[in-house]
Structure 1
Amino acid sequence: MTSSTTTAVVAHAADDLRVERIAVRSPEPGEAVVAVAYGGICGSDLHYWQHGAVGESILRAPMILGHEVAGTVVRAAADGTGPSAGTPVTVHPATREHTDVRFPENSPNLSPGVRYLGSAARFPHTEGAFASEVVLPATMLRELPAGLDLRVAALIEPASVAWHAVSKAGDLSGKRVLVIGSGPIGALVVAVAKRAGAAEIVAVDLHDKPLEIATALGATRTLKATDAEAIAAVDADVVFESSGNHRGLASAIAGATRGAMVVMVGLLPTGDQPVPVSLAITRELRLVGSLRFNDEIDEVIAAIADGSLAIDPIITHTFPVDEALEAFGVAADASVSGKVLLAF
């Protein structure tokens, strides 16, 4: 049973976030209707709320936010593709359109033709999935194993971002890992690195709460971001920079051993960044970017289902959708929250 209208979280402009009733459009033959149970508030959602933009992706019209969601199919795609009605699902929020720009065929995440749910990178914007009912391409839906908690399933998208980043570093067995920035993505990197066999995982952040969460997810030691000397002494084999700040990248370079790899997960602001590149050169560091993910989402689902990837501790708050503005405020305060969920 589907509705003609739904409750959605819509960003209209900077500092203008509204919970409102909107129409549910009719699905195309290859689209399904999903009743969203939970949605995780991402850093990009916070930027659209606070600044009306994420980097160069600027709001030019009201847009439904959200791309970290889980729920249940209430109307299957009419063409018979995708999960049937009643199936619990999570969502891979990317679709790809044709482009003449070159990119590696085995890395569709690098295609400039990618559209992502809840993104203002193009106009018209790509609407997100923070709504009680949402119409989505059946190809986006991933069936969940029986018994997998839909609250945890809302974390599968950011966990896939972390999984993709960790895969960039190769075999972590027995290695010393440094994670700069222990917000939701950094904490999930800790969890995935633990599963990958890292012998030591040092988590860094400005606040105590993220470090508590990182410890619960597998960090063997924590450091404050202000302790530059201690960070430089880590001498890590692999560093994951997930703060999205040039000071964090400088710390990542300083904390890396000679010949180490630095995986840059956090998205730094557009433009030049003041970082000690000379140190990266003289240590022969490998600086590698990591953007979103591809099919790793299927591996993440399997790992959560078999218990080898435990990510529950990252969830610190759950708010009903009617209290979305309060939820966004809590999510923006890293000193008190990890992952904040909206319940639809």
Structure 2
Amino acid sequence: MRACVVHGAGDLRVEDRDPVPPGHGEIAVSTAFGGICGSDLHYYHRGSVGDFRLREPMVLGHEVVGHVAATGPDVDGPGVGTPVAIHPATPCGACPECAGNRRNVCARSRYLGSAARTPHVQGGFIQHLVVPADQVRPLPTGLDLRRAVVAEPLAVALHAVHRAGDVAGRRVLVTGAGPIGCLTVAALKNAGAAEIVVTDLLDEPLAIAAAVGATSTVRADGADPDQPDIAIEASGSAAGLSTCVRTVARRGTVVLLGLLPPGETGFLGNIVVTREIEMLGAFRFDREFDEALSLLGEGLHVDPVLTHTFPLAEAAAAFDIAGNRALASKVLLDLTDPR
């Protein structure tokens, strides 16, 4: 079988790997599509994501869908051939965070395609993937695999919206119109936000944000948007964070969603103090994955985010296009096509 493996910054290879049969409590999935995430791009371009640095070759990918290929002994799960999505996280189940229903911040969690731990957790851009059975989710009836692949980033967006509190009838700013930012727009619209303002440096991603529900878009190199009640920082940049803090209403809420560069990032702390701004982090997700699949099955409008699909053999070209925000939003690898 073939897999997309990063060996270091700028070193991406499509390699042969030996298939592994599922063991007790495991399911093997014949993967169909994998979505390239911003973290995959960081590993490819920089060799790191935030403070997580590559120390060994790693199969990338954590946005994966496919069909059940085989089940291990004693597994009571979906049958062979069932179309499924993969929840990429394996929390430890024993820590205070897991016990307190905060499994997304479990310090011992394993996440597909992550260098947070050594040995690294190998990812899902591989044609035959074996995972614990409880990470496999049958797709809602009628949901095709190509749309289902955005369940993972949509779950990230849903978690950020949940962290913001009740957004119904509120004015919300989203800084950054990448795939996560645009899916955050879709989640906000579904949750009843009255106004959704999106900023970005490029017109092309702003057009996608408008297509999925933004009520207005603003170039980030222009004038600041008017005071939102809530600001969600989805660009992963110090400039985006500054915009959120500077423009949010007094006693408003800022949710940090995008991962900032490694190390310390300065921010307008005195404004946070004097305006009593509430700042919250949003990291990954937990049960929002199932919510995302349900919303996609109900027809949540996300199709404009899906812009390109490449065969696995053209992974390097796919990653290069995915890094060009003027051309692409969510780029998929077709893992059934190993050409």
Instruction: Identify the TM-score tier after normalising by the shorter chain.
Output: over 0.9
Corresponding residue of 1:198: 193
CA deviations 1:180-231 (Å, max 9, x no partner) are: 011011000000000000111101101111101100010010001112x333
In the alignment, which of 115, 124, 127 is matched to residue 129 of structure 1? Answer: 124
- Aligned residue for 1:329, secondary structure, equals helix
* 2:324 pairs with 1:330: no
Q: Residue 182 of structure 2 corresponds to which residue in structure 1?
A: 187
Question: How far is 1:111 from its partner?
Answer: 1.2
Structure 2 residue aligned with 1:319, among 310, 316, 324?
Answer: 310
Q: Is the 8 A contact 1:104 1:110 kept in 2?
A: no
Q: Which residue of 1 aligns with 2:164?
A: 169
CA distance in 2, matches of 1:51, 1:230: 31
Supply the AA of the counterpart residue of 2:318.
A
Give the number of equivalent residue pairs.
Answer: 335
Paired position in structure 2 for 1:23: 18
1:266 aligns with 2:261: no
Tell me the distance in 1 between the aligned counterparts of 2:96 and 2:189. Answer: 37
Structure 1 contact 64–127 (Cα < 8 Å) conserved: yes
**Counterpart among 43, 53, 77 of residue 38 in structure 2:** 43
1:265–1:290 CA contact under 8 A, matched in 2: yes
Contact 2:85–2:137 under 8 Å retained in 1: yes
Consecutive unaligned residues of structure 2, counting only runs of 5 or more, are none
Q: Answer yes or no: is 1:224 the counterpart of 2:219.
A: yes
Task: Provide the secondary structure at the position in 2 that maps to 1:18.
Answer: strand
Q: Match for 1:312: what amino acid?
A: D
The answer on whether the counterparts of 2:22 and 2:70 sit within 8 Å (CA) in structure 1 is: no
**Is contact 1:241-1:264 (8 Å) kept?**
yes
8 Å contact from structure 1 (residues 32, 137) kept in 2:
yes
Q: Which amino acid aligns with 1:338?
A: S
Asked if structure 2 preserves the Cα contact closer than 8 Å seen for 1:247 and 1:275, the reply is no
* 8 Å CA contact retained: 2:186, 2:301: yes
Alpha-carbon distance in 2 for matches of 1:78, 1:154? 27
Deviations 1:17-49 (A, max 9, x none): 001111112221111111111100001111111
Within the alignment, does 1:144 sit opposite 2:135 as a pair? no
Aligned residues with identical type, % of pairs: 48
SS at match of 2:30: strand
Contact 2:51–2:263 (CA under 8 A) maintained in structure 1: no
CA positional deviation for 1:123: 1.0
Name the aligned partner's letter for residue 277 of structure 1: G
- The one-letter code of the counterpart of 2:224 is A
Tell me which residue corresponds to 1:298. 290
The Cα shift of 1:274 comes to 1.9
Instruction: Map Cα deviations across residues 148-204 of structure 1 (whole Å, 9 max, x no partner).
Output: 110111100000000000011121111111000110110000000000001111011
Amino acid of the structure 2 residue aligned with 1:262: V
Q: Which whole-Å CA distance do the structure 1 matches of 2:211 and 2:243 have between them?
A: 23
Change (3 A) 1:100 1:171: closer
Q: Please give the alpha-carbon distance, in whole angstroms, between the structure 1 residues aligned to 2:34 and 2:219.
A: 30
Work out whether residues 97 and 103 of structure 2, in 8 Å CA contact, stay in contact via their aligned partners in 1: no
Q: Aligned AA for 1:148?
A: L
Is the 1:101–1:112 Cα contact (8 Å) retained in structure 2? no
Q: Is the 8 A contact 2:186 2:302 kept in 1?
A: yes
Cα distance in 2 between the residues matched to 1:146 and 1:76: 21
Matched residues in 1 for 2:104 and 2:97: separation?
Answer: 12
Distance in structure 2 (CA, Å) of the matches to 1:55 and 1:266: 10
The alpha-carbon deviation at position 98 of structure 1 amounts to 5.8
- CA offset at residue 59 of structure 1? 1.4
Q: What SS does the aligned partner of 2:292 have?
A: helix
- 8 Å contact from structure 1 (residues 316, 340) kept in 2: yes
Alpha-carbon distance in 1 for matches of 2:164, 2:215:
19
Q: What is aligned with 1:254?
A: 246
SS of 1:236's equivalent?
coil
TM-score normalised over the length of structure 1: 0.94
Q: CA RMSD in A?
A: 1.4
What secondary structure is seen at the aligned counterpart in 2 of 1:259? coil
Please say if residues 50 and 259 of structure 2, whose CA atoms lie closer than 8 Å, have aligned partners that are also in contact: no
- SS of residue paired to 1:73: strand
Q: Distance in 2 between matches of 1:125 and 1:230?
A: 41
8 Å Cα contact 1:99-1:111 kept in structure 2 = no
Contact 2:93-2:99 at 8 Å conserved across structures: no
CA distance in 2, matches of 1:306, 1:223: 30
Residue 35 of structure 2 contacts residue 63 of structure 2 at CA under 8 Å; is this kept in 1?
yes
